[in-house]
Structure 1
Amino acid sequence: MSTLAILLYAAVTAAMARYMSRQQFSVLMIGTLFLLGLAGYYGLFFGAAHFMGRYLSPVSPLLAILTVAIGMVAVHQWGPKMMLARWSSAMIPIVVVVLVLGLNTRTYLNKGRGSAIDHIQVKQWVEIHVAPEIWVGAVQTGVLGFFHDRTVNLDGKVNPYALAAKIDQQIPHYVVESPIQYLADWGIAGWIVHEPLNQHFEVMVDDPEQNLGVLRRVTPVPPSASLQGHIDR
């Protein structure tokens, strides 16, 4: 469904491009190049294609501007013939409200299928058991990082040092050499089998029902600990 919507939006945009002003067309070109760059990097090199919607979220502001531009062009081109000017001022706010309500409703209905609600148990556990000054590592850091400032991303989406370690297959070493004292996420308790994590961490929580795993550091944080790790190993 999302692919069909994207193709439909692209077709409408292409059809309206010839009616756009130079400024509007510039926004279209900038957005297109930005979109292609993100899609190319994350689609061809980064992996986890099922998260493509998240990867492309930075394009949203440009798409919003472009959507408004398309609407303005449509009203300008066909408004007088279809008497759009009379009802557009009333209909546009209604459409916006319906979209906002619909998208928020979809977020809650998608619980259990990768929505932000599925990460709330990690945030709640950390909030109760971990002091604000303690570093916590996780793969899914969107929700947790919003509420716990000292959160370290471990899949490399927003942490270039973790990305370098991931490429070198050195994430366990990166964690051990960082100031991370807890690992909290989905299924992360299974990481305890990896060297050298199993020498420095222990399983604190492994709860499949809540979809929550927690590892706790049992050795002192090394004096040389750094969020940059030692990726030049």
Structure 2
Amino acid sequence: MKYLLPLIFIIYVIVLSFFSKGDFPESGFNNSYFPYLSERPLTEDGFYSLKIAWNIGTRKGITYNFEQPTTGFQPLYVFILSIFAFIVSGFGGDKIVFLRLVILLSGFTALLLSYVFYRLINGLKKTDHQKTLMILILLLVLFNFKLFLNLFNGLETGVYLIFLVLSMILSQKIIEQKKNSGLLILFGFVLGLTVLARIDSILIVLFILFTLLFTRALSKKEFAWISLITFFTLLPWLYFVFTTQGSIIPSSASVQTGLTSAELSYRIDQFFFSIFTNYIPWLHSGQTQSLIIYILTLIFILYLYKYQKVFIKNFFKFLIIKYWSVAILISSIVYLIFASQPYFFFRYLSIHILIAIPFLALLITNLLSYRSSKFKNSFIAIVLIIFFVNAVYYFHYPKQVTGLALRTSFIEKNKLFEQKIGMAQNGISGYFFDNILNLDGKVNNEALKAIKGNYLYNYISRENISILIEWEEWFDILPSTELKQNWQLFNDQIKDNKTLVMIKK
């Protein structure tokens, strides 16, 4: 079974990659049993990274559209992908072929994540039920639909989680005093790569390093040595960001960070929902809100309180779990306060997987160890059925196409290839078309400065943008007088009831 489960997963990933539709949606409803590559599983934010990787791989430099230098991406993931973009383009492949390859690479990332989790958990506690443990880890990683969405969104989440787990494994060796100069160098390098995988992980890295210092797992000299290696691993990227935009904070971090006026109740709901889904595996169906998750979480907590107090106590005796739990909690609170939009929580708070998977794997291994083979096989079958029911509903059941994906077919249908188009949410469209300028600052530092300086409309005029495509409420940030004088509705509109297309008079 430990070989069959990865095989089933690999086959499904190949099918999803090769049979997803490579054209643009012709209407607002997808009647096919496979998704459009421009819509799912890859997401709007993921397409920004993919376009930058494609540009690097096709020798256009570290740029977005219009050859603009950009810092709005997580460097490690994008540079890894750029190697594959170089290979694809070198063999005559196009952007669609690259997307299919990205899905396959996401599958490989999931398999690798399963392996490093196995190494971590096996290092925490030796068990006589290795096969059961391995199968559970495969089920918790490969057939956990919530994690599947995180790993296949076109973003850095999978690579980031792998390096976090590797950091946990190495910090465990340091706690156990199994250290030497080679381990210290490797630890510093891996911590640096972890930050390059996602910049905001610097909070976790700093907390872990100082905790190891204060608990005397590291000497002051060792702490300084590791910190120095981490810094020099980051230095080339920091230098590039600073020379590109005069600040060491990437543009994407500026856009996605900041106190927001978003509804407090919705923010708190998304915060706890995103955390709980890590600890209630297999039941997430792709919805952003669900009362069932809260009910099941409450039931699970009551079960743990009544029947698993000893297990919980023993689990948190592992110092590595204790230290990393606090680091993740601190990071989560920072996200709660400073993440600019609550919908980022689903991705950001996937760091709870670092604690959830070891906890659940060891707990369920204990519960299944002395069960019959028939019972274990039934359990595996139920998990697989739930996963594929979710996958079929989310990816293969006919449904509405998102408005952001419809923009691609709108541009193609109206042959808007020569005009300069401005969009705030342009991840998908900007990947496929080079004539689209980003206007929310995520990958465009000049637009970001214009937004912060309250001269976005002047920036739009200066850039000679002739068409604006965006959600209707976005136009409220532009001066209404100038908008009425100089712009008019395009003779065709996107049929999603929320997007406006305006053309310069």
Distance 1:106 1:199, change over 3 A: same
Residue 204 of structure 1 is matched in structure 2 by 490
TM-score by length of 2: 0.32
Give the C-alpha shift of residue 98 in structure 1.
Answer: 2.3
Equivalent residue runs for 1:101-120 within 5 Å: 101-102=389-390, 105=393, 111=400, 117-120=402-405
TM-score by length of 1: 0.59
Task: Please say if 1:95 is aligned against 2:383.
Answer: yes
Which runs of no fewer than 5 residues in structure 1 stay unpaired? 219-233
Equivalent residues, number: 204
- Are the aligned partners of 1:137 and 1:182 in contact in 2 as well (CA < 8 Å)? yes
Whole-angstrom CA distance in 2 between matches of 1:22 and 1:106 = 39
- RMSD over equivalenced CA pairs, Å: 4.4
Task: Tell me which protein shows more strand as a share of its residues.
Answer: 1
- Are the aligned partners of 2:423 and 2:437 in contact in 1 as well (CA < 8 Å)? yes
Residue 450 of structure 2 is matched in structure 1 by 165
Q: Match of 2:500, SS?
A: strand
Equivalent residue runs for 1:15-34 within 5 Å: 18=313, 19-20=315-316, 21-34=318-331
Whole-angstrom CA distance in 2 between matches of 1:100 and 1:27 = 32
Q: 1:215 is matched by which residue type in structure 2?
A: M
Whole-angstrom CA distance in 2 between matches of 1:125 and 1:208 = 7
Equivalent residue runs for 1:216-227 within 5 Å: 216-217=503-504
Equivalent residue runs for 1:69-148 within 5 Å: 69-80=358-369, 83=371, 87-88=375-376, 91-92=379-380, 94-95=382-383, 98-99=386-387, 101-102=389-390, 105=393, 111=400, 117-128=402-413, 129-131=415-417, 135-148=420-433
Distance 1:154 1:80, change over 3 A: same
Task: Please say if 1:52 is aligned against 2:349.
Answer: no
Give the C-alpha shift of residue 154 in structure 1.
Answer: 3.2
Q: Match of 1:213, SS?
A: strand
Task: Please say if 1:194 is aligned against 2:484.
Answer: no
Residue 215 of structure 1 is matched in structure 2 by 502
Residue 182 of structure 1 is matched in structure 2 by 467
Give the C-alpha shift of residue 52 in structure 1.
Answer: 1.3
Distance 1:65 1:93, change over 3 A: farther
Give the C-alpha shift of residue 195 in structure 1.
Answer: 5.0
Q: 1:52 is matched by which residue type in structure 2?
A: P
Distance 1:165 1:193, change over 3 A: closer
> Which stretch shows the higher mean deviation, 199-208 or 5-14?
5-14
Give the C-alpha shift of residue 150 in structure 1.
Answer: 4.9
Whole-angstrom CA distance in 1 between matches of 2:468 and 2:493 = 14
Deviations 1:182-226 (A, max 9, x none): 2113337966863544565443246485434222345xxxxxxxx
Q: Which has the higher contact order (CA 8 A, sep 6+)?
A: 2
Q: Match of 2:459, SS?
A: helix
Whole-angstrom CA distance in 2 between matches of 1:65 and 1:92 = 22
Task: Tell me which protein shows more helix as a share of its residues.
Answer: 2
> Which stretch shows the higher mean deviation, 206-215 or 167-176?
206-215
Which runs of no fewer than 5 residues in structure 2 stay unpaired? 1-288
Task: Please say if 1:68 is aligned against 2:357.
Answer: yes
Q: Match of 2:467, SS?
A: strand
Distance 1:75 1:209, change over 3 A: closer
User: Identity rate of aligned residues, in percent?
Assistant: 16
Whole-angstrom CA distance in 1 between matches of 2:439 and 2:372 = 51
Give the C-alpha shift of residue 125 in structure 1.
Answer: 0.9
Q: 1:178 is matched by which residue type in structure 2?
A: E
